[in-house]
Amino acid sequence: MAAESPLAGEIDEHLSVARATLAAVQEPFDRLLGLSVEAIRDGHKLLFFGNGGSAADAQHLATELTVRFERDRAPIAALALTTDSSALTAIGNDLGFDSLFARQIEALGKPGDVAIGITTSGRSRNVILGLEAARAGGLVAAAFAGRDGGDLPGIADPLVIVPSNVTSRIQEMHITLGHALCLGLERALGMA
């Protein structure tokens, strides 16, 4: 008996989680998009952050906005708090890894900005502290998460939770949600 193709299994699971995500996240996603559009129109910025694969997603999405997503257009103000190696190592060394994002938000975030933490588990301490710093500083503290949202309910709002317990599927949905956010911003701002 031949084993099922790993590709077929991954695609089937991906499609199942994608359908479940669409059904589960429309309302918080729409609120995040609306708050992001309002922030950019008012001269504010988006701050993305996360660990590991989520750090890569933060960089990817900030770049899509500052450079281009679908069309050549004016830049949209967005930063990834995962790219400054000097800040990351100094904060980690001097203040501790848990302070990695909170310290940068305190330094770079302004009231009206939107901070978007990305964490598959919802339990990443540095992401949680970053979102708490965002709330304390008058920023919108939003997040993409998975599973049951972990410790983020009550901290992140809007909170977009991918209904899966599989890290790879959650990550796939996070980048899809991020791309939808980029497209929604371009369209709402008359850029697409």
Segment 9-28 shows an average pLDDT of 97
pLDDT value of position 192: 60
Q: Is 78 helix (H, G, I), strand (E, B) or coil?
A: strand
CA atoms within 13 A on the CB side of 55: 12
Give bridge partners of residue 117 from the DSSP assignment.
Answer: 49, 143
98: number of Cβ within 10 Å: 17
Closest C-alpha to 61, from 187, 142, 191, 177? 177
pLDDT in tens, 165-181: 999 999 999 999 999 99
Q: Is 37 helix (H, G, I), strand (E, B) or coil?
A: helix
Whole-prediction pTM value? 0.96
pLDDT value of position 2: 56
DSSP string, 112-160: T-EEEEE-SSS--HHHHHHHHHHHHTT-EEEEEEETT-TT-BTTBSSEE
What is the band of 3 on the pLDDT scale with cuts at 50, 70, 90?
A: low
128 has a pLDDT exceeding 60: yes
Bond into 163 cis (ω within 30)? no
Q: What is the mean pLDDT of the chain?
A: 96
Domains of the chain: 27-188 (3.40.50.10490)
pLDDT value of position 4: 77
83 has a pLDDT exceeding 80: yes
pLDDT in tens, 40-62: 999 999 999 999 999 999 999 99
Segment 135-158 shows an average pLDDT of 98
Are β-strands 140-146 and 46-50 bridged in parallel, bridged antiparallel, or unpaired?
unpaired
Segment 86-106 shows an average pLDDT of 98
